[in-house]
Structure 1
Amino acid sequence: MSYKRTCVSMAVFAAIALLYGCSANSPGGAEIDRPSPKATDAYTGGPVELLVQDRNTGITEEEFQQYFAQPVKAKNPDITMKLTKETSIEKLLASGTTPDLVAVSNTQLGAYIEIGYPEDLNPMIRRFNVDVSRIEPAIVEVIQTVSRNGAMYGLPFGMNHGALMYNKDLFDKFGIPYPKDTVTWEEYLDLSRRLTRMDGGVQYIGGTPNNVLNLIRQYGASNIDAKDEKAVFTTDRHKAVFSLLQQFFTIPGLVVGNTYLPINLNGGTLAMKTDWIASISSSVVKSKPKFEWDLAGYPTFKERPNLGNPVDFHMLTVSKSTKHKEAAYRVLLTMLSEEAQTALSKNGRLSPLQDPKIKMSFAVDANVFAGKNLQAIFKTSPSPLPDYSIWKAIADPFLNDAAKEVAVNKKDINTALREAEEKANLAIQKERNAKR
């Protein structure tokens, strides 16, 4: 997919030009021209402090110190890491405070590529013999796709994974067998129909998809055309997804007022919840459910077997202009190590590595999944994302609006999608005009 350069202030462009233009002649830039040290050599560049920005990965200062800075310093005593609280890369660049590394979510990587921040890590990967096959394939595919031309503008340190959490007590109450380790959306829909009922004056809900946009991406439907110019919501794939949604919405008792995608499992009246495993983990820790519960794999489309919730991950990128590339590389290598990944996983940040032993250590420090069927969630793989677009944030809300129109106002699917597409394109055009 093509990308159009986003509008950045003249001050930011000046900062980028100054930083990148001078790096070749600066002491930091000179090290690029010197012969690279052997990959097996320890870091010998002397004491250095690396500035790290967090952009949408949710790293707390406590987590940063314990699971990033300390492991790096243990292996490389001369490297100190500092986390900045500034979330705007534009402000950092304009002030001349370029972070050496950025911890960034896959949803925000494109914005950093647009301003020319990250360097291609392929040479570093070859030099240090980084085994990329250890990483979840969908993650590598997404990085290469959004980066263009196979460049690797980041290496992951954490990810999320879809899961199905269910209330065993409600299944037992109504004499319905628990979900299998893997279920299709059609099977999930059937369970929802059987469990959604009024009983003893209480309305019970079987379950629904928790996110319309994730459902669309899981099915491989792109919301923007190939030229990245306009929204496209009226494809056969979009209609197929909305047809599935409509079958949920027509279950008697499921839609209540404006609530059409119930997600509050903790209330005890919702039987199933599809969500991210990290969200389930934090929810269980906070609410301590009073009912018996367990896990199954995220539901899949029969046309796309074994592909669950779309891939979602966090990565570290390295600045093109940093004077401390050698130190930055050691950070990436440390964070991909088995030791660092196991520690992060135990603390509740799922590993992007395919190693089942590390994955099964997820959140053990909090004892969240003891005795639960955690292994079931890994029987489905993350779905590759079908699109990356600079218009994503503008277009996506209109699809949520379309789902509400179908659920609450009983609008025809074709009409709802066509109207949402028209509104999205008007909003995109307005934004495009504002940037000219």
Structure 2
Amino acid sequence: MANRPRQKMKPALVTFLIATLLGTTACGTQKEPGTADPGTKPAPKPEPVELTMFYPWSGYPKEKFMEDAGNSIIKKYPHISINYVQNEKGSSYEALIAGGLKPDLIMTTDSSFAAVKTVGWDGDITELAAKNKYNFDAINPGVLKGIQAVDPGKIAGLPSHVNSLALFYNKDLFDKFGVPYLTDGMTWDQVYEVAKKITRLEGGTVYRGFGIRTGNFIGMNQLSLPVVDKNNKAVFNTDSWKNYIGNFARFYQVPGYGATKELVEGAKAYDMFLKDQTLAMLVQMQSDYPRESLGQKINWDVVSYPTLAANPGTGPQPNIVFYVIPKTSDKRDSAFQALTAILEGEQQKAFVKTGLGSVLKQSPAASIGADVVPDLKGKNAKSLFPVKYADLVEPNTYLGVAQGQVYQAFLAAVLGSDDLNTALRVAQENANKAIETQLANKK
């Protein structure tokens, strides 16, 4: 508070103040009589600053960004405004740079960061954190380790939220066939035995035990198996990958399943689980939990992502969404301040409300109540998020190319068009050809 202008005191008032000071007991710290209180000067009002926030994809308008995160930044730092730019046309980073784009913040993911670094938009926030006395202790160690892994020796940015995988199940189908409900901490072998018990033909309807909605079980594999090495060579034709893919392929080879390409791929699996309700268990992103508020009527629950004997107690790799502060920005201090607002507890709880994973060590999901997320009332909500994430594989520009081929090998094995050994060998050859073509086109 600013000091008021001093006025000359009347003698009677001076006598009263001295008497009051002398009569005060010594229970606290006292100033010497006659010593003036210097007061506290108000902090200078920050100059207005506009941050250019770049979203490198399309389909995420400014209104949604502000609702999800931008408003929390402005609430904490009113002097900051956001110039939001999304890549609506899918332009290359090089074309955007040529057009004059100079972002102060870039949203990216662990699998997309390599493209950001390629054009020189990366940045190390280590010094910014030290300057602002920022404590990383509140962040989930696996998430922080993941961000450090994308650019070894640096801290590439601050996290926003995490996407992960979870195992959902239809309680009515378990009841129908007298199968005990799933529990946290199960292994894939245990889940496989459950799937076998449920898969059957009954009353003219085929009931299936298990399905996967997304191919992310490959990119987020819980053994942290690499698909591309530092020399841009595909490296997934290995025994480890064979065992990992075989773990999931066996679910579709249970007698009576009747696997087809349509049934295996994500959209149909989701319909069988949510609409037809003939699929008992479904692996999908945790943010896609059924919502009664949207008219999705199903008696469901969720358990932690099952584990493998080769890496017990470990969930999938996190799909980390984080913000980079480019080294080319001249507003890095303000950008760092903005990001700290996203990491505060209330904002993280808001992410959880929409089904996104918190990046905090103590996830608000564990204590979130039905008054905050009515669709999670009575659900095992804490298991939407793993206790321990698997280590991230080393980022590479061609991860997507290689992971796509691994998925093709998985499909070939499930559908019986190739044995798994052949399928992985062919897929690796195809991946290397595709990578070589892309490398040649860059020359």
TM-score greater than 0.5 by the shorter chain: yes
RMSD over aligned Cα, in angstroms? 2.4
**Distance in 1, Cα, partners of 2:169 & 2:58:** 27
Could you tell me which amino acid in structure 2 is paired with residue 177 of structure 1? Answer: P
**Distance in 2, Cα, partners of 1:207 & 1:299:** 13
SS at match of 2:101: coil
Could you tell me which amino acid in structure 1 is paired with residue 379 of structure 2? Answer: K
Q: What's the counterpart of residue 79 of structure 1?
A: 80
2:145 matches 1:141: yes
What is the Cα deviation at residue 156 of structure 1? 0.5
Q: What's the counterpart of residue 30 of structure 2?
A: none
Could you tell me which amino acid in structure 2 is paired with residue 269 of structure 1? Answer: T
TM-score (norm 1): 0.83
Percent identity of equivalent pairs: 28
Summarize deviations over 1:329-373 as a string: whole Å, max 9, x none. 210121112232223333443311122335543996452211111
Contact 2:60/2:86 (<8 A) preserved: no
What is the Cα deviation at residue 139 of structure 1? 1.7
Could you tell me which amino acid in structure 1 is paired with residue 75 of structure 2? Answer: A
Superposed, 1:150-299 pairs within 5 Å as 151-212=154-215, 214-215=217-218, 217-225=221-229, 227-258=230-261, 259-260=263-264, 262-264=269-271, 265-266=273-274, 267-281=276-290, 286-289=294-297, 291-299=298-306
**Distance in 2, Cα, partners of 1:56 & 1:187:** 39
What is the Cα deviation at residue 49 of structure 1? 1.4
**Distance in 1, Cα, partners of 2:340 & 2:370:** 23
**Distance in 1, Cα, partners of 2:308 & 2:57:** 29
Are the structure 2 counterparts of residues 244 and 121 from structure 1 closer, same or farther at C-alpha, using a change threshold of 3 Å?
same
TM-score (norm 2): 0.82
Q: What's the counterpart of residue 50 of structure 1?
A: 51
Q: What's the counterpart of residue 376 of structure 2?
A: 369
Q: Radius of gyration: which is bigger? A: 2
Structure 1 residues not aligned, in runs of 5+: 1-40
**Distance in 2, Cα, partners of 1:346 & 1:213:** 22
Superposed, 1:85-96 pairs within 5 Å as 85-86=86-87, 88=91, 89-96=93-100
Contact 2:57/2:86 (<8 A) preserved: no
Summarize deviations over 1:392-417 as a string: whole Å, max 9, x none. 12222211111111111342111111
Q: What's the counterpart of residue 121 of structure 1?
A: 125
**Distance in 1, Cα, partners of 2:59 & 2:43:** 30
2:348 matches 1:341: yes
Are the structure 2 counterparts of residues 193 and 317 from structure 1 closer, same or farther at C-alpha, using a change threshold of 3 Å?
same
What is the Cα deviation at residue 59 of structure 1? 4.7
**Distance in 2, Cα, partners of 1:163 & 1:409:** 27
Contact 1:100/1:322 (<8 A) preserved: yes
Structure 2 residues not aligned, in runs of 5+: 1-41
Summarize deviations over 1:167-202 as a string: whole Å, max 9, x none. 000000000000112211111111111111001000
Contact 1:255/1:407 (<8 A) preserved: no
